[in-house]
Amino acid sequence: MASVIPKEVKKETVDLWLLETWKVCLLTHDFTYVTTTHVFYEDLTFEVPNGNGYVTGGATVSRSPWDVDSGYVDTTNAKIDAADTSWSGATFATVRFAVVYETTGKKIRAIYEFDGDKSVTSGTFTIQWNAGGLIKIS
């Protein structure tokens, strides 16, 4: 088992991911993640229905461009950051998960569980990505 993954290898992984287009979709509280089942977007169940400010498949994630000197790679970490993602004019009753996936093969890159059910009525639903990055490889 590897004790260390060199930062250059982490950077290579992030560089490859930055070539992809990513989307984020929203799932209700009825979803339960199963590691052997939920690999691709098509495997997901309980996506927020189309309409009421949401389009099935989710929204494009606007990731921050970066290079080695931008602070996204340090001595131990490589990370991908993104602008917050929003849906305006939204009415969602029970959003619990956000799933980031790449759009070519639709492979899931990350699943985020909110701190309990989130809802919005005729407003803007915003995912504020963590200041530490959308994804961090340590």
Q: Are 82 and 62 in contact (CB under 8 A)?
A: yes
Residue 50: C-alpha distances to residues 100, 105, 136, 138 (Å): 18, 22, 31, 36
Whole-angstrom Cα distance, residue 98 to residue 113?
7
What does the pLDDT look like over 74-109, one tens digit per residue? Answer: 667 777 888 999 999 999 889 999 999 999 999 999
Provide the Cα torsion 46, 52, 58, 63; round to 10°: -140
- For 68, residues 6+ apart whose C-beta sits below 8 A from its C-beta are 11
pLDDT tens digits, one per residue of 32-50: 999 999 999 999 999 999 9
Residue 106's Cβ-count burial label (10 Å; 0-12, 13-18, 19+) is middle
Whole-model pTM: value is 0.88
